[in-house]
Amino acid sequence: MISLSTMLRPIATFGRYLQLMAKVFSRPERMRMYWKQYVKELQQLGVDSIGIVLMISFFIGAVICIQMKVNIQSPWMPRFTTGYTTREILLLEFSSSIMCLILSGKVGSNIASELGTMRVTQQIDALDIMGVNSASFLILPKILGLVTMTPVLVTFSIVAGLGGAYAISMAGILTAEDLTYGLQHSFNQWYIWMSIIKSLFFAFIIASVSSFYGYTVEGGSVEVGRASTDSVVHCSMLILFADIFLTQLLS
């Protein structure tokens, strides 16, 4: 039988998350130092993720194109269907939601383990003793950095995914003309904005939830590892959960 304290644990965790966020969004003490941290996070969380985003998106774009050609294309369907469906999948789901799920694995675990290690090696205590608002100083630049960079990564992902689809057309599986026509057919610009708006929410989830798990670690290396895993699991669940609402809201 599940005890009351077990049932209340998610509420308590959410309460601690909100308390931490209240500390994070308090007024920065020395803007120059925050700016320095922000630029560092842009590099660490965003620029360093460009490679993996391009690579995964290129191959997934190519695979989606092949799957659409093999499984959907038939003499009864227009020839542009493959390009059309590839575009819709990339724009509507892959480059925002699935890309952010992948980012939650790379960036989320990175944030949780970095902050967790800082906690167990007393580096966060050292900041607190100095009178620095450690939560704000460490977490705010990460949230802002990832929220700034994720739309860029999403755009790169869309472009790389379409590049992958064109690579398939060059291999002769479908013609570039059909693919281009399909990609342009009934194009709705709002889908790009939808993708970017969704990614902003997902970026906030990844940075804040991972930071929460890392910042609140207690113990040693085992707990840091557990926090890193927990952050990825919870970020993924929250992204998928938020995706349902955002898709309904923005469609």
Partner 1 sequence: MIELRHITKTFADRQVLAGISATFQGGQTSLIIGRSGSGKTVLMKCIVGLLTPTSGHVLYDGRDFLAMDKHERARLRREVGMIFQSAALFDSMSVMDNVMFPLDMFSAMTLRDRQRRARQCLDRVNLSEAGHKRPSELSGGMQKRAAIARAIALDPKYLFCDEPNSGLDPKTSLVIDELLHGITHEYNMTTIINTHDMNSVMGIGENIIFIYEGQKEWQGVSADIMGSTNKRLTDFIFASDLLKEMRQALTEK
CA distances from 131 to 53, 118, 127, 128 (A): 38, 16, 7, 5
Which residues, at least 6 apart from 23, have a Cβ–Cβ distance to it below 8 Å?
Answer: 133, 135, 136
Residue number with CB closer to partner 1 (117 or 180): 117
Tell me whether residue 71 or residue 121 sits nearer to partner 1 (CB atom): 121
Q: Judge residue 139's burial from the number of C-beta atoms within 10 Å of its C-beta, 0-12 exposed, 13-18 middle, 19 or more buried.
A: buried
CA distance 90 to 157: 8
Closer residue to partner 1 (CB): 5 or 32 = 32
DSSP H/E element including 100: helix 99-103
Position 75 contacts partner 1 (CB under 8 A): no
CB 65 within 8 A of CB 85: no
Please, which residues have CB within 8 angstroms of residue 51's CB and are 6 or more apart in sequence? Answer: none
Told to check if 132 binds partner 1 by CB under 8 A, we report yes
User: Which member of 19, 43, 71, 123 binds partner 1 (CB under 8 A)?
Assistant: 123
Q: Is 131 in the site for partner 1 (CB under 8 A)?
A: yes
- Please say which residue, 28 or 151, places its beta carbon nearer to partner 1: 28
Please identify which residue in 12, 18, 25, 125 interacts with partner 1, judged by CB under 8 A.
125
Please select the residue that binds partner 1; options are 121, 175, 188, 221, rule is CB under 8 A: 121
The size of the interface with partner 1 (CB under 8 A), counted in residues, is 14
How close are the terminal C-alpha atoms of the chain, in Å?
41
Task: Decide: is 43 part of the binding site for partner 1 (CB under 8 A).
Answer: no
d(CA 100, CA 234): 13
Question: 63 or 132, CB closer to partner 1?
Answer: 132
Looking at the Cβ atoms of 32 and 51, the one nearer to partner 1 is 32
Give the Å distances, CA to CA, from 102 to 31, 60, 109, 180: 32, 12, 11, 28
Cβ proximity to partner 1, 23 vs 185, nearer residue: 23
Interface with partner 1, residue 128, by CB under 8 A: yes
User: Of 165, 187, 181, which Cα lies nearest the Cα of 68?
Assistant: 165
Based on the shown chain and the rule CB under 8 A, indicate whether residue 30 belongs to the binding site for partner 1.
yes
Please choose, out of 29-37, 62-70, 90-98, 183-191, the segment that lies near partner 1 by the rule CB under 8 A.
Answer: 29-37
47 forms part of the interface with partner 1 (CB under 8 A) = no
Contact range with partner 1 by CB under 8 A, out of 100-108, 121-129, 157-165, 241-249: 121-129
Q: Is residue 32 part of the contact set for partner 1 (CB under 8 A)? A: yes
* Site residues, partner 1 (CB under 8 A): 29-30, 32-33, 121-123, 125-126, 128-132
